[in-house]
Chains A and B, each alone.
Chain A
């Protein structure tokens, strides 16, 4: 096996090109689902690999409760620099556990505090708060969730744009985007190489809601205008205007507006292999699957070696 055992830890590096290829080219719904699944699989494999390395490492420590067979030379041969790798895996796994635990706790705390903040108001789906700060949030909940929007944001939007805003937030709640986001946040905590996937899913989930909103209100331009207006409402004072720079270097909001001003993305989930877009999509998908497979393969191999060593023959 040799160095291949460590593959699940570094294969998430492939997330970067995968995210760059898939996010702008796939339909946002497909991209969100694909990238979230890839992130979860890779994070799982990477954590499993860390756990197995830790077993190999701790098996040599005196006084450990593990079976003697787990420190057999055969097992140690499967891991390069087994002593170093094993001992390094212990704090790494601890850090992963702490980071994921904190993310989960923060998730629950935010939901609890948000519900408590809205306690005492009528239980409508849309909550309008009198606040000079323009913002809108989708708050997930047991009964379909709630949409929180301030008077400042609503008064800055035309009626059609308000409909677009509500349609966007409803799309978030209906598709339960917060689950995708929690999954990729946890994955990025489990392996920092997966952070590009988290950023990509944060963006594609917004695009998904944008596309659903555009379908609901029947006008892409209105949704683009609503996003633009809402973003400018909260922007700092305008700087002197310059020429339109390359869109690739800009943040998520202008990219979302530009995507909405362009024609709707193909709803087909499987583009043809013989177009440029199709080749890129299938390349990204194949790359993702290959990374996940080899991650899983390494993890399973290491697991089998350990089990064989632990079972008395």
Chain B
């Protein structure tokens, strides 16, 4: 068991995961009271409702009115919830590059041309490329984006930030 202040800090993230996990174990739409009972004694009913509402805002649960209360259904799993939280962190923190070392940084258009040319040279030197089209002519992320909702992110979005001072060498 972790110490008390540490628990308080991690509480929110853990609770969201636990509530979502409980919803996924249910057979169908369930009420907040069911979730509270499922998670055990020490959680207040209002806390459960708060967390369910937060999950609703993140679009990982849905709700419908049944009688005088809502019933809740999960629309995503815990991994998706973690992905959403991670995305929010990456989009919101300008200083993340000091901590999280990204595999690649953003590519300005000029760099992209150079990169494609380099990889084309590498492909021709190596003979046939491993699979599919040669890298130099590959479009942007066809296989990656095809399986998800295409309209979900605007084309201008960048996942790899560049550190503040990276361009001043």
Q: Which residues of A contact B (CB under 8 A)?
A: 19-20, 23, 103, 106-107, 109-121, 127-140, 148, 150, 152-153, 155-156, 158, 160, 165, 168-169, 172, 177-178, 181-182, 185, 188, 195-196, 198-200, 202-203, 205-206, 209, 221, 224-225, 227-239, 241-245, 247, 249-254, 257-258, 261
List the B residue with the shortest CB-CB distance to A247.
Answer: B114
Known pairs A117-B85, A132-B145; A110 contacts B114 (CB<8 A): no
Decide if A121 touches B112 in the complex (CB within 8 Å).
Answer: no
Chain B residues proximal to chain A, CB less than 8 Å: 9-10, 12-14, 16-18, 20-21, 77-83, 85-90, 93, 95-119, 121-122, 126, 130-131, 135, 138-141, 143-145, 147-149, 152-153, 155-160, 162-163, 165-169
Nearest chain B CB to A63 CB, angstrom units:
38
Q: Are A133 and B100 in contact (CB under 8 A)?
A: no
Interface centre among A120, A130, A239 (most CB of B within 10 A): A120
Q: Are the C-beta atoms of B78 and A121 separated by less than 8 Å?
A: yes
CB distance from A13 to the nearest CB of B (A): 13
In the complex the two chains form, is A253's CB within 8 Å of B113's CB? no
- Residues B169 and A135 in contact, CB atoms below 8 Å apart: no
For the complex, would chain A's binding face be called helix, strand, loop or mixed by DSSP majority?
helix
A residues within 8 A CB of B80? 129-130
Q: How many A-B residue pairs have CB under 8 A?
A: 264
| List of A residues within 8 angstroms of B149 by Cβ | 132
Q: Are A134 and B9 in contact (CB under 8 A)?
A: no
How many angstroms from the CA of A130 to the CA of B76 in the assembled complex? 10
Whose C-beta in chain B lies nearest to the C-beta of A164?
Answer: B103
Instruction: Provide the residues of chain A in CB contact with B77, threshold 8 Å.
Output: 130
Residues in B neighbouring A117, C-beta threshold 8 A: 13, 82, 85-86, 88-89
Using known A-B contacts A106-B93, A132-B149, determine if residue A229 contacts B14 with beta carbons closer than 8 Å: no
Would you give the shortest CB distance from B80 to chain A, in whole angstroms?
A: 5
Q: Which residues of A contact B168 (CB under 8 A)?
A: 195-196, 199
CB <8 Å contact, B79 and A130:
yes
Residues of chain A within 8 A of B119, CB atoms compared: 224-225, 228, 257
Q: Which residue of the partner chain, among A19, A132, A136, A155, contacts B103 with CB atoms under 8 Å?
A: A136
Does more than half of chain B's interface fall in helix, strand or loop, or is it mixed?
helix
B48 to chain A, nearest CB (A): 16
Q: List 5 A-B contacts (CB under 8 A).
A: A107-B98, A114-B89, A116-B85, A132-B145, A152-B148
CB-CB under 8 A from A261, the residues of chain B are 118, 121-122
In the complex, what residues of A have CB within 8 A of residue B102's CB?
A: 135-137
A20, B85: Cβ atoms under 8 Å? no
Pairs of residues from A and B, 6 with the lowest C-beta to C-beta distance, nearest first: A120-B17, A117-B85, A116-B13, A106-B95, A132-B148, A129-B83
Whether B14 lies near A221 (C-beta < 8 A) is no
A103-B95, A110-B96 known; A119 and B113 CB under 8 Å?
no
CB distance from B127 to the nearest CB of A (A): 11
Complex contacts, B144 vs chain A, CB 8 Å: 132, 134, 152-153, 155-156, 233
Contact between chains at B82 and A121 (CB < 8 Å): yes
Q: Is the CB of B81 within 8 A of A120?
A: yes
Q: Are B159 and A129 in contact (CB under 8 A)?
A: no
Residues from chain B with a CB closer than 8 A to the CB of A209 are 101
Contacts of B148 in A (CB 8 A): 132, 152
CA distance A103 to B147 in the complex (A): 38
Distance between B20 CB and nearest chain A CB, rounded to angstroms: 8
Question: Are B81 and A252 in contact, with the CB atoms below 8 A?
Answer: no
Q: Is A225 within 8 A of B135, CB to CB?
A: yes
Bound CA–CA A134/B87 (angstroms): 11
